[in-house]
Amino acid sequence: MLEKLITVFRIPELRNKILLTIGLLAVYRLGFWVPLPFIDQELFRAQMEKLQQGSSGFGQVIQMVSLFSASNLGNSTIFGLGIMPYISASIIFQLMGSVYPPLEQLQKEGEAGRKKINEYTRYATVVICLLQSFFWIRAISTGFGGGNGMIMQEYNFWYIHMMGALVMTAGTIFLMWLGEQIDEFGIGNGISLLIMAGILAQMPTSLYEYMQPAFEQGIRAGTDTGVDKLLLLLGLFIGVVIGVIAMTQGQRRIPIQSAKHVRGRKVMGGQRQFLPLRVNQAGVMPIIFASSLLMFPYFMFSQASAVWPESMTLKTLASAFGAGRGFLYNASYVALIYFFCYFWTAITFNPKDMANNLKDYGSFIPGYRPGTRTAAYLEQVMVRITYVGAGFLAIVAIIPTIVARWMNIPFMLASFYGGTGLLIVVSVALDLVQKIDSHLVMRNYRGMLESDEN
């Protein structure tokens, strides 16, 4: 492995791409040390720690958004919104592309259509940023509804909200630009690498906060930081990593036969190939959608229970969708993950277009006639393997909630070392290694994922 790493840095073009990517990620991390000027940072930090350590559903929202958006809402910085507004805009246009004919036509126009959609996505990102940043500054100014504002008194209302919204919007647009520079001049998917870097940056802090009592009192079995819990966390970490790699790399190979045709005196075609269908076609998007939607029932039932305090049913429902994360929460989580897995797969995978492409290129699946029969077979196969992929995502998603309650550890630590955070990190790392391998193979070098025996 060491020789392969040395080979990677011996190739000038690949070395420059990797160094540029690392440099841009370092710039991204530096932005988290540039605070907003009008916020009392000490008071803000104390309030955020209280929200995240308590049983507030708002604290859960902050933790989940920080995990998926390459941000840290616990710090009031210029990158406070992270990259989530851009992701939201991209998802909106991808969903609209399947129901809005003009966008669907743009998607079929190739590179020119993609550039036009990216332009619309950037404009939508600015609008989403302005709205989200305005409401975020508003929440800070009111102390998140507690009445104790965290804004310095020397700043007036309009300066706070307008300047804060503009600064945070500029920060997100800059992150979007960083991601695009990595896509064009670096290596890997820029936005995914920003999210991975944000997760990795929070992992050591979460582990240190959990292990701090052990450093002071020692590691003893039976305690919150006992050796038994540490071994379970280590086993969980290894198991999730192996499972994520297996499911991310997992494919269902459909045999394809190309038709023979004669050109002059040569017989062309007739080769047997495979059409790979990914088991986890939807990626991590179903978890992001499901976890975001499950935040709304808590706020809805909490507000309703405040209006009708005598209703025990509303209080019970608010508690079920709150920090307790009991059976109702997990059951709803699994159901939403399955729904969004099939929903997202239906958007990104079109068996009819794939069957038509096979027909146009003179290929067919043995035993199935080209056209409608082939499309029906591909759809049937995708439905079956998506069921397995959704089950895997559901297991990974509910691991943090179960482990956090069972082992009495912070939810964010469980997410990093045994759940969605680890799923994102491993998936992005695999994609990055595959892109490096493609550069090595083009130059007749052995890939990093290839065995030394081959």
Q: Residues 124, 268: one domain?
A: no
If one counts every other C-beta atom within 10 angstroms of the C-beta of residue 327, the result is 9
Which strands, in side-by-side order, build the sheet including 363-364?
Answer: 272-278, 251-258, 363-364
Distance CA 319, CA 170 (A): 38
pLDDT of residue 178: 92
Q: Are 172 and 83 in contact (CB under 8 A)?
A: yes
Mean pLDDT by 10 residues, the chain (454 residues): 76 88 90 78 71 56 63 71 84 79 81 85 91 80 59 68 86 91 88 85 76 67 67 79 83 82 61 84 79 73 74 76 68 88 85 85 83 90 91 84 74 69 82 84 72 54
Q: Are residues 322 and 278 in the same domain?
A: yes
Neighbours of 66 (CB within 10 A): 22
424 in any annotated domain: no
**What's this model's pTM, rounded to 2 decimal places?**
0.79
126 SS3 class: helix
Distance in angstroms (rounded) separating the CA atoms of residues 200 and 432: 15
Let me know whether 230 and 99 are in one domain. no
Which residue type is seen at 105?
Q
CB 284 within 8 Å of CB 192: no
The verdict on residue 399 lying in a domain is: yes
- For residues 23 and 30, the answer to whether their CB atoms sit within 8 Å is no
Cβ-contact 205, 412 below 8 angstroms: no
Q: Are residues 310 and 247 in the same domain?
A: yes
Quick one: pLDDT at residue 15?
87
- 329 occurs within a structural domain: yes
Same domain, 141 and 188: yes
d(CA 372, CA 308): 56
257 and 193 belong to one structural domain: no
User: With contact defined as beta carbons under 8 Å apart, do 209 and 199 qualify?
Assistant: no
CATH number for the domain harbouring residue 336 = 1.10.3370.10
Q: How many CB atoms lie within 10 A of CB 230?
A: 15
Same domain, yes or no, for 353 and 285? yes
What is the model's pLDDT at position 384? 92
Same domain, 451 and 403: no
Same domain membership, residue 205 and residue 57: yes
For 107-144, b where at least 16 C-beta lie within 10 A, e where not — what string?
beeeeebeeebeeebeebbbebbbebbbebbeebbeeb
Do residues 364 and 259 touch, judged by C-beta distance below 8 A?
yes
Rounded to an integer, what distance in angstroms lies between the CA atom of residue 304 and that of residue 319?
A: 12
Residue 434 lies in a domain: no
- The answer to whether residue 425 is domain-embedded is no
SS3 state at 320:
helix
Provide the residue range defining the domain that includes 121. 1-210+447-454
Q: How far is the C-alpha of 416 from the C-alpha of 414, rounded, in Å?
A: 5
Q: Do residues 126 and 145 both lie within one domain?
A: yes
pLDDT at residue 20, as a whole number: 92
Does residue 35 sit in helix, strand or coil?
A: strand
Altogether, the residues listed in the chain come to a count of 454
At 126, which amino acid appears? V
SS3 at position 55: coil
The single residue listed with the structure tokens 């192996």 is 242
Inside any domain, residue 427 = no
Is 232 part of a structural domain of the chain?
yes
What is the model's pLDDT at position 248? 81
**Are residue 132 and residue 156 in the same domain, yes or no?**
yes
Q: Are 226 and 200 part of one and the same domain?
A: no
**Residue 188 buriedness (CB in 10 A; 0-12 / 13-18 / 19+):** buried
Non-local CB neighbours of 111 within 8 Å, separated by 6+ positions: none
